[in-house]
Amino acid sequence: MQEIRIYGDPVLRKSAQEVETFDERLNRFIDEMAETMLVKDGVGLAANQVGEAIRIVVIDTTAGEEPPIIFVNPHITAASDEMAEAEEGCLSLPGITLPVKRHLRVSVSAQDRRGREFTIEQAAGLLARALQHEIDHLNGVLFIDHVSPLQRTMIRGKLKKLAKTGSADG
């Protein structure tokens, strides 16, 4: 299992590089990401979160019932005007959850683990939210960047503690 990088680690603020080589090494890395996400009960994981600033996201909205969806070099091609707010958390910010406004639906194009292009049209619900959250990670953006200044102020202490100790509790 890979080590999850916690808030304060500079790799979480890096803009990730496009993947150009689809080889065995990449596939092993993707498998490890999928395993790490499963063990950590995550809905999604971006490569930045395991210390590699490369454009890979894995998402599982089925709690391990189905294989995760792998997105290499993903980008959002369309987003609904309609927004939805829901509670979000992040494996890199343990102990912090906040309501975040996201597009209700998004379309995404990406490559699979072999480099074949695919698209997901009009993803909705948790998948739409996870896609936006994880693609943000590839651009060095965290969900706390989307919350109001007041909410940001309210978690300032927790963030400081996280960056210092790796835990927001206690």
- Which residues contact Ni ion by CB under 5 A? 90
3 state SS of 116: coil
Distance in Å, CB of 139 to Ni ion, minimum: 12
Query: Would you say 73 or 132 has its CB closer to Ni ion?
Result: 132
How far apart CA 73 and CA 126 sit, in angstroms, is 20
Distance in Å, CB of 163 to Ni ion, minimum: 16
Query: Would you say 7 or 29 has its CB closer to Ni ion?
Result: 7
Q: What type of residue is 122?
A: Q
Could you tell me the CA-to-CA distances from 70 to 22, 40, 95, 167 in Å, in that order? Answer: 13, 17, 26, 29
Distance in Å, CB of 24 to Ni ion, minimum: 27
Is position 20 annotated as part of the catalytic site? no
Query: Would you say 30 or 50 has its CB closer to Ni ion?
Result: 50
Which tokens hold the place of 94?
A: 């343990």
